[in-house]
Structure 1
Amino acid sequence: MASQEKPSFDQIEQMARRHFLAIRGYHADQLLVQSEIREFLPQLRQLGWWSFPWRRVPRYSLADDQFIVSLVYVRHPPVELPTPLAAPERIYNRMEKLSYSPFGRILLLELSQREDFYTAIMQEPAALCGQSKILAELDVVEEIERLDIDEPTGHIYTLDQLVESLRHEYGVVK
Protein backbone atom coordinates (compact mmCIF):
# COMPACT_ATOMS: atom_id res chain seq x y z
CA MET A 1 0.00 0.00 0.00
CA ALA A 2 1.48 3.34 -1.04
CA SER A 3 1.73 5.89 1.72
CA GLN A 4 -0.04 9.15 1.09
CA GLU A 5 1.96 12.36 1.34
CA LYS A 6 1.18 14.59 4.28
CA PRO A 7 -1.05 17.48 3.12
CA SER A 8 0.23 21.02 3.49
CA PHE A 9 -0.88 22.90 6.57
CA ASP A 10 -2.52 25.50 4.31
CA GLN A 11 -4.83 22.76 3.01
CA ILE A 12 -5.68 21.73 6.57
CA GLU A 13 -6.34 25.30 7.69
CA GLN A 14 -8.50 26.03 4.64
CA MET A 15 -10.51 22.87 5.27
CA ALA A 16 -11.07 23.81 8.93
CA ARG A 17 -12.11 27.37 8.15
CA ARG A 18 -14.37 26.28 5.28
CA HIS A 19 -16.02 23.63 7.45
CA PHE A 20 -16.82 25.87 10.41
CA LEU A 21 -17.65 29.00 8.47
CA ALA A 22 -20.14 26.97 6.38
CA ILE A 23 -22.18 26.25 9.50
CA ARG A 24 -25.20 28.53 9.33
CA GLY A 25 -24.74 31.53 11.57
CA TYR A 26 -21.21 30.58 12.61
CA HIS A 27 -18.40 33.12 12.75
CA ALA A 28 -14.81 32.89 13.90
CA ASP A 29 -15.38 34.21 17.46
CA GLN A 30 -18.13 31.70 18.22
CA LEU A 31 -17.59 29.10 20.93
CA LEU A 32 -16.68 25.66 19.58
CA VAL A 33 -17.74 22.51 21.41
CA GLN A 34 -16.54 18.92 21.39
CA SER A 35 -19.26 17.57 19.10
CA GLU A 36 -18.50 20.18 16.44
CA ILE A 37 -14.79 19.40 16.56
CA ARG A 38 -15.44 15.63 16.49
CA GLU A 39 -17.59 16.09 13.37
CA PHE A 40 -14.78 17.97 11.65
CA LEU A 41 -11.74 15.84 12.48
CA PRO A 42 -12.54 12.86 10.22
CA GLN A 43 -12.15 15.28 7.30
CA LEU A 44 -8.46 15.50 8.19
CA ARG A 45 -8.23 11.77 7.75
CA GLN A 46 -9.90 12.03 4.33
CA LEU A 47 -7.37 14.71 3.41
CA GLY A 48 -4.64 12.18 4.13
CA TRP A 49 -3.37 13.21 7.52
CA TRP A 50 -3.36 9.63 8.78
CA SER A 51 -0.68 9.98 11.43
CA PHE A 52 -2.46 12.82 13.21
CA PRO A 53 -3.66 11.85 16.70
CA TRP A 54 -6.95 13.66 16.06
CA ARG A 55 -8.74 12.00 18.93
CA ARG A 56 -6.73 14.13 21.39
CA VAL A 57 -8.01 17.51 20.17
CA PRO A 58 -11.63 17.29 21.40
CA ARG A 59 -10.35 16.75 24.94
CA TYR A 60 -9.13 20.34 24.84
CA SER A 61 -12.56 21.71 23.98
CA LEU A 62 -15.68 22.17 26.07
CA ALA A 63 -18.13 19.31 26.37
CA ASP A 64 -21.53 20.07 24.90
CA ASP A 65 -23.17 19.82 28.33
CA GLN A 66 -20.89 22.25 30.20
CA PHE A 67 -22.54 25.20 31.92
CA ILE A 68 -21.18 27.96 29.69
CA VAL A 69 -22.12 26.02 26.56
CA SER A 70 -25.69 25.78 27.77
CA LEU A 71 -25.60 29.46 28.69
CA VAL A 72 -24.35 30.54 25.27
CA TYR A 73 -26.32 28.10 23.09
CA VAL A 74 -29.32 26.67 24.91
CA ARG A 75 -30.74 29.71 26.66
CA HIS A 76 -33.78 31.03 24.83
CA PRO A 77 -33.05 33.34 23.20
CA PRO A 78 -29.33 32.50 23.10
CA VAL A 79 -26.87 35.17 24.15
CA GLU A 80 -26.34 37.27 21.05
CA LEU A 81 -22.73 37.33 19.93
CA PRO A 82 -21.56 40.73 18.74
CA THR A 83 -19.21 40.71 15.79
CA PRO A 84 -16.30 40.82 16.34
CA LEU A 85 -15.37 40.17 19.96
CA ALA A 86 -12.27 41.97 21.22
CA ALA A 87 -10.75 38.93 22.95
CA PRO A 88 -13.04 35.90 22.50
CA GLU A 89 -10.61 33.36 23.98
CA ARG A 90 -10.19 35.47 27.12
CA ILE A 91 -13.95 35.97 27.44
CA TYR A 92 -14.67 32.24 27.18
CA ASN A 93 -11.80 31.45 29.54
CA ARG A 94 -13.24 33.85 32.13
CA MET A 95 -16.70 32.39 31.65
CA GLU A 96 -15.42 28.85 32.17
CA LYS A 97 -13.49 29.83 35.29
CA LEU A 98 -16.54 31.62 36.72
CA SER A 99 -18.65 28.54 36.04
CA TYR A 100 -16.51 26.56 38.54
CA SER A 101 -18.22 28.35 41.44
CA PRO A 102 -21.91 28.55 42.39
CA PHE A 103 -21.46 32.31 42.87
CA GLY A 104 -19.75 32.57 39.51
CA ARG A 105 -22.67 30.75 37.90
CA ILE A 106 -25.11 33.18 39.49
CA LEU A 107 -23.02 36.02 38.13
CA LEU A 108 -22.95 34.51 34.64
CA LEU A 109 -26.71 33.96 34.66
CA GLU A 110 -27.30 37.58 35.68
CA LEU A 111 -24.82 38.95 33.14
CA SER A 112 -26.36 36.85 30.37
CA GLN A 113 -29.52 38.95 30.71
CA ARG A 114 -27.59 42.07 29.69
CA GLU A 115 -27.00 43.22 26.13
CA ASP A 116 -23.34 43.91 26.96
CA PHE A 117 -22.78 40.39 28.32
CA TYR A 118 -19.56 39.73 26.39
CA THR A 119 -17.97 43.06 27.25
CA ALA A 120 -19.21 43.08 30.86
CA ILE A 121 -17.48 39.74 31.49
CA MET A 122 -14.13 41.53 31.01
CA GLN A 123 -14.59 43.69 34.10
CA GLU A 124 -12.71 42.98 37.30
CA PRO A 125 -14.35 40.57 39.79
CA ALA A 126 -15.17 43.29 42.34
CA ALA A 127 -16.96 45.36 39.70
CA LEU A 128 -18.81 42.29 38.41
CA CYS A 129 -20.00 41.34 41.89
CA GLY A 130 -21.00 44.93 42.63
CA GLN A 131 -23.28 44.94 39.58
CA SER A 132 -24.99 41.72 40.58
CA LYS A 133 -28.41 42.06 42.20
CA ILE A 134 -27.81 38.91 44.25
CA LEU A 135 -24.05 38.97 44.86
CA ALA A 136 -23.79 42.69 45.72
CA GLU A 137 -25.37 41.87 49.10
CA LEU A 138 -22.98 39.00 49.80
CA ASP A 139 -19.26 39.18 50.46
CA VAL A 140 -18.13 36.93 47.59
CA VAL A 141 -15.51 39.06 45.82
CA GLU A 142 -12.65 37.10 47.41
CA GLU A 143 -14.16 33.79 46.34
CA ILE A 144 -14.54 35.04 42.77
CA GLU A 145 -10.98 36.41 42.81
CA ARG A 146 -9.68 33.01 43.99
CA LEU A 147 -11.02 31.53 40.76
CA ASP A 148 -8.17 33.36 39.00
CA ILE A 149 -10.39 33.96 36.00
CA ASP A 150 -7.55 35.18 33.79
CA GLU A 151 -5.40 32.07 34.30
CA PRO A 152 -5.65 30.08 31.02
CA THR A 153 -7.55 26.80 31.18
CA GLY A 154 -5.76 25.36 28.16
CA HIS A 155 -9.05 24.77 26.37
CA ILE A 156 -9.80 25.45 22.73
CA TYR A 157 -12.69 27.90 22.51
CA THR A 158 -12.55 29.37 18.99
CA LEU A 159 -11.73 28.46 15.41
CA ASP A 160 -8.44 30.40 15.61
CA GLN A 161 -7.40 28.37 18.66
CA LEU A 162 -8.36 25.13 16.90
CA VAL A 163 -6.25 26.11 13.89
CA GLU A 164 -3.31 26.93 16.17
CA SER A 165 -3.71 23.59 17.95
CA LEU A 166 -3.74 21.81 14.60
CA ARG A 167 -0.67 23.82 13.53
CA HIS A 168 1.15 22.70 16.68
CA GLU A 169 0.22 19.04 16.13
CA TYR A 170 1.17 19.34 12.47
CA GLY A 171 4.65 20.46 13.45
CA VAL A 172 5.03 17.69 16.06
CA VAL A 173 3.70 14.75 14.04
CA LYS A 174 5.94 13.60 11.19
Structure 2
Amino acid sequence: MAGLLNGKQYLCRVALRPLVVTFLAFFCFGPSTTTAADPKADAVKNFPKYSVFSKGVEKYFGRKRGFRDGDIISQSEVREVFRKLKSMGWVVTDQKEILAQVLPDNDYMVRQLRTKKGRVFMADLSKTPAAYDRLERFLRLPLSKREFRGLLNGPDGYKMFSYMVTSRGGKALGQQLSNIKQGRNFNKPTGHIYTVDQLVKRLSESHANYVAGLKTAAAKK
Protein backbone atom coordinates (compact mmCIF):
# COMPACT_ATOMS: atom_id res chain seq x y z
CA MET A 1 0.00 0.00 0.00
CA ALA A 2 2.83 2.37 0.93
CA GLY A 3 4.53 1.56 -2.36
CA LEU A 4 1.35 2.37 -4.26
CA LEU A 5 1.07 5.76 -2.52
CA ASN A 6 4.69 6.55 -3.24
CA GLY A 7 4.07 5.74 -6.91
CA LYS A 8 1.08 8.08 -7.04
CA GLN A 9 3.04 10.83 -5.32
CA TYR A 10 5.84 10.42 -7.86
CA LEU A 11 3.40 10.66 -10.77
CA CYS A 12 1.85 13.79 -9.27
CA ARG A 13 5.24 15.42 -8.91
CA VAL A 14 6.07 14.59 -12.55
CA ALA A 15 2.76 16.01 -13.74
CA LEU A 16 3.07 19.18 -11.66
CA ARG A 17 6.67 19.93 -12.53
CA PRO A 18 5.92 21.73 -15.90
CA LEU A 19 3.26 23.82 -14.18
CA VAL A 20 5.70 24.86 -11.48
CA VAL A 21 8.32 25.80 -14.06
CA THR A 22 5.77 27.86 -16.00
CA PHE A 23 4.62 29.59 -12.82
CA LEU A 24 8.17 30.45 -11.80
CA ALA A 25 8.96 31.78 -15.25
CA PHE A 26 5.88 34.00 -15.19
CA PHE A 27 6.62 35.16 -11.65
CA CYS A 28 10.26 35.99 -12.37
CA PHE A 29 10.07 37.38 -15.88
CA GLY A 30 6.45 38.38 -16.41
CA PRO A 31 4.34 37.55 -19.47
CA SER A 32 6.08 37.15 -22.83
CA THR A 33 6.36 40.39 -24.81
CA THR A 34 7.74 38.87 -28.00
CA THR A 35 5.96 40.20 -31.08
CA ALA A 36 6.08 39.10 -34.68
CA ALA A 37 8.57 40.89 -36.93
CA ASP A 38 7.16 43.79 -38.96
CA PRO A 39 8.80 43.78 -42.42
CA LYS A 40 7.53 47.28 -43.26
CA ALA A 41 8.88 48.78 -40.04
CA ASP A 42 12.18 46.98 -40.60
CA ALA A 43 12.34 48.42 -44.14
CA VAL A 44 12.17 51.95 -42.72
CA LYS A 45 14.67 51.21 -39.96
CA ASN A 46 17.22 49.48 -42.18
CA PHE A 47 17.04 51.72 -45.26
CA PRO A 48 20.38 53.59 -45.59
CA LYS A 49 20.68 57.30 -44.94
CA TYR A 50 21.07 59.56 -47.95
CA SER A 51 24.72 60.26 -47.14
CA VAL A 52 25.50 56.64 -48.06
CA PHE A 53 24.03 57.10 -51.53
CA SER A 54 25.41 60.60 -52.13
CA LYS A 55 28.92 59.30 -51.46
CA GLY A 56 28.28 56.57 -54.01
CA VAL A 57 27.29 59.17 -56.62
CA GLU A 58 30.34 61.31 -55.94
CA LYS A 59 32.56 58.25 -56.03
CA TYR A 60 31.18 57.25 -59.44
CA PHE A 61 31.99 60.62 -61.00
CA GLY A 62 35.29 60.85 -59.14
CA ARG A 63 36.45 57.71 -60.93
CA LYS A 64 35.56 59.02 -64.40
CA ARG A 65 38.72 59.82 -66.29
CA GLY A 66 39.17 63.54 -66.85
CA PHE A 67 36.03 64.52 -64.96
CA ARG A 68 36.30 67.65 -62.80
CA ASP A 69 34.03 69.18 -60.19
CA GLY A 70 31.59 71.48 -61.92
CA ASP A 71 31.78 69.75 -65.31
CA ILE A 72 28.53 69.29 -67.15
CA ILE A 73 26.83 65.89 -66.85
CA SER A 74 24.55 64.12 -69.33
CA GLN A 75 21.79 61.53 -69.39
CA SER A 76 23.95 58.46 -70.00
CA GLU A 77 25.95 59.25 -66.86
CA VAL A 78 22.82 59.70 -64.78
CA ARG A 79 21.51 56.35 -66.01
CA GLU A 80 24.74 54.81 -64.74
CA VAL A 81 24.16 56.55 -61.42
CA PHE A 82 20.72 54.95 -61.17
CA ARG A 83 22.26 51.53 -61.77
CA LYS A 84 24.87 52.26 -59.11
CA LEU A 85 22.21 53.27 -56.58
CA LYS A 86 20.19 50.15 -57.37
CA SER A 87 23.23 48.00 -56.58
CA MET A 88 23.43 49.84 -53.25
CA GLY A 89 19.82 49.00 -52.40
CA TRP A 90 17.82 51.97 -53.67
CA VAL A 91 15.71 51.90 -56.83
CA VAL A 92 15.01 55.57 -57.57
CA THR A 93 11.31 55.75 -58.34
CA ASP A 94 11.31 59.07 -60.22
CA GLN A 95 14.10 58.30 -62.66
CA LYS A 96 12.15 59.54 -65.69
CA GLU A 97 11.49 62.91 -64.09
CA ILE A 98 15.15 63.34 -63.17
CA LEU A 99 16.39 62.28 -66.61
CA ALA A 100 14.07 64.85 -68.17
CA GLN A 101 15.98 67.51 -66.23
CA VAL A 102 19.36 66.40 -67.61
CA LEU A 103 20.60 67.28 -71.09
CA PRO A 104 21.05 64.35 -73.50
CA ASP A 105 24.53 63.36 -74.63
CA ASN A 106 23.94 64.68 -78.15
CA ASP A 107 22.81 68.13 -77.01
CA TYR A 108 24.79 70.86 -78.78
CA MET A 109 25.85 72.53 -75.54
CA VAL A 110 27.05 69.24 -74.03
CA ARG A 111 29.00 68.29 -77.14
CA GLN A 112 30.69 71.67 -77.42
CA LEU A 113 31.69 71.80 -73.77
CA ARG A 114 33.31 68.38 -74.09
CA THR A 115 35.64 69.42 -76.88
CA LYS A 116 39.22 70.38 -76.07
CA LYS A 117 38.48 74.10 -76.23
CA GLY A 118 35.11 73.58 -74.58
CA ARG A 119 36.71 71.96 -71.54
CA VAL A 120 38.94 74.99 -71.05
CA PHE A 121 35.90 77.24 -71.40
CA MET A 122 33.86 75.06 -69.01
CA ALA A 123 36.54 75.08 -66.30
CA ASP A 124 36.05 78.84 -65.96
CA LEU A 125 32.30 78.87 -66.64
CA SER A 126 31.60 76.34 -63.88
CA LYS A 127 32.93 78.75 -61.25
CA THR A 128 29.57 80.48 -61.67
CA PRO A 129 27.14 77.50 -61.69
CA ALA A 130 24.12 79.56 -62.78
CA ALA A 131 26.07 80.51 -65.90
CA TYR A 132 25.09 77.14 -67.38
CA ASP A 133 21.47 78.31 -67.37
CA ARG A 134 22.38 81.50 -69.24
CA LEU A 135 24.49 79.61 -71.75
CA GLU A 136 21.68 77.20 -72.54
CA ARG A 137 19.20 80.05 -72.98
CA PHE A 138 21.72 81.96 -75.09
CA LEU A 139 22.09 78.99 -77.45
CA ARG A 140 18.36 79.16 -78.20
CA LEU A 141 18.76 82.63 -79.72
CA PRO A 142 19.07 83.15 -83.49
CA LEU A 143 22.66 82.83 -84.79
CA SER A 144 23.86 82.10 -81.25
CA LYS A 145 25.78 78.96 -82.17
CA ARG A 146 28.05 80.89 -84.50
CA GLU A 147 28.66 83.47 -81.80
CA PHE A 148 29.34 80.75 -79.27
CA ARG A 149 32.04 79.19 -81.41
CA GLY A 150 33.75 82.57 -81.42
CA LEU A 151 33.52 82.75 -77.63
CA LEU A 152 35.07 79.29 -77.33
CA ASN A 153 38.05 80.41 -79.36
CA GLY A 154 38.57 83.55 -77.28
CA PRO A 155 40.48 83.66 -73.99
CA ASP A 156 37.67 85.09 -71.84
CA GLY A 157 34.49 84.04 -73.60
CA TYR A 158 33.06 82.57 -70.41
CA LYS A 159 32.99 86.01 -68.79
CA MET A 160 29.99 87.02 -70.86
CA PHE A 161 27.81 84.43 -69.11
CA SER A 162 29.25 85.06 -65.68
CA TYR A 163 28.54 88.74 -66.28
CA MET A 164 24.92 87.94 -67.11
CA VAL A 165 24.51 86.19 -63.76
CA THR A 166 26.46 88.37 -61.37
CA SER A 167 26.11 91.96 -62.57
CA ARG A 168 23.23 94.41 -62.75
CA GLY A 169 24.12 95.25 -66.34
CA GLY A 170 24.16 91.57 -67.27
CA LYS A 171 20.72 91.04 -65.80
CA ALA A 172 19.46 94.09 -67.66
CA LEU A 173 20.83 92.57 -70.87
CA GLY A 174 19.04 89.33 -70.05
CA GLN A 175 15.81 91.25 -69.57
CA GLN A 176 16.20 92.76 -73.02
CA LEU A 177 16.85 89.33 -74.53
CA SER A 178 13.67 88.10 -72.86
CA ASN A 179 11.75 90.30 -75.30
CA ILE A 180 12.89 88.02 -78.11
CA LYS A 181 10.65 85.01 -78.64
CA GLN A 182 13.51 82.51 -78.29
CA GLY A 183 14.91 84.39 -75.29
CA ARG A 184 11.80 84.34 -73.13
CA ASN A 185 12.56 84.11 -69.37
CA PHE A 186 16.25 84.54 -70.12
CA ASN A 187 17.18 85.45 -66.54
CA LYS A 188 15.26 82.58 -64.97
CA PRO A 189 16.69 79.12 -64.21
CA THR A 190 15.94 76.50 -66.85
CA GLY A 191 15.22 73.85 -64.22
CA HIS A 192 17.88 71.61 -65.72
CA ILE A 193 20.50 69.66 -63.81
CA TYR A 194 23.97 70.50 -65.11
CA THR A 195 26.41 69.39 -62.40
CA VAL A 196 27.02 66.61 -59.89
CA ASP A 197 26.19 68.95 -57.02
CA GLN A 198 22.81 69.71 -58.56
CA LEU A 199 22.17 66.01 -59.16
CA VAL A 200 23.05 65.14 -55.56
CA LYS A 201 20.67 67.82 -54.32
CA ARG A 202 17.88 66.57 -56.58
CA LEU A 203 18.41 62.97 -55.49
CA SER A 204 18.20 64.02 -51.84
CA GLU A 205 14.61 65.10 -52.53
CA SER A 206 13.87 61.73 -54.13
CA HIS A 207 15.38 59.92 -51.15
CA ALA A 208 13.30 61.94 -48.68
CA ASN A 209 10.13 61.14 -50.63
CA TYR A 210 11.07 57.46 -50.81
CA VAL A 211 11.62 57.22 -47.06
CA ALA A 212 8.36 59.08 -46.42
CA GLY A 213 6.61 56.48 -48.57
CA LEU A 214 8.16 53.65 -46.55
CA LYS A 215 6.98 55.27 -43.32
CA THR A 216 3.46 55.71 -44.68
CA ALA A 217 3.35 52.06 -45.73
CA ALA A 218 4.63 50.96 -42.31
CA ALA A 219 1.93 52.99 -40.56
CA LYS A 220 -0.81 51.12 -42.42
CA LYS A 221 -1.42 47.97 -40.40
Out of 40, 55, 59, the residue aligned to residue 96 of structure 2 is 55
TM-score, normalised to structure 1, is 0.77
CA distance in 1 between partners of 2:134 and 2:160 (Å): 11
User: What CA deviation, in whole Å up to 9, does each residue of 1:65-93 have, x standing for no partner?
Assistant: 111112111x45443133684322x1111
Tell me the number of residue pairs that the alignment of Structure 1 and Structure 2 aligns. Answer: 158
CA distance in 2 between partners of 1:85 and 1:106 (Å): 21
The answer to whether the 8 A contact 1:13-1:163 is kept is yes
CA distance in 1 between partners of 2:111 and 2:81 (Å): 21
TM-score, normalised to structure 2, is 0.62
Structure with the higher fraction of residues in helix conformation: 2
Runs of 4+ residues over 6 Å off in structure 1 = none
CA distance in 2 between partners of 1:145 and 1:25 (Å): 39
Out of 150, 159, 167, the residue aligned to residue 119 of structure 1 is 159
Matched, 1:100 2:140: yes
CA drift at 1:152:
0.7
CA distance in 1 between partners of 2:65 and 2:152 (Å): 23
CA distance in 2 between partners of 1:157 and 1:51 (Å): 19
- Report percent identity of matched pairs: 22
RMSD: 2.7
CA drift at 1:172:
1.5
CA distance in 2 between partners of 1:142 and 1:107 (Å): 18
Paired residues for 1:1-174 under 5 Å: 5-50=46-91, 52-73=93-114, 75-80=115-120, 81-82=122-123, 85-88=126-129, 90-124=130-164, 142-143=176-177, 146=180, 147=183, 148-173=185-210, 174=213
User: What CA deviation, in whole Å up to 9, does each residue of 1:1-58 have, x standing for no partner?
Assistant: x776422100011001110111111122000011111112111111111363333321
1:25 alignment partner AA: G
Residues 124 and 45 of structure 1, relative CA distance in 2, 3 Å threshold: closer
Gaps of 5+ in 2: 1-38, 214-221
Structure having greater relative contact order (Cα 8 Å, sep ≥ 6): 1
Task: Provide the residue aligned with 2:30 in structure 1.
Answer: none
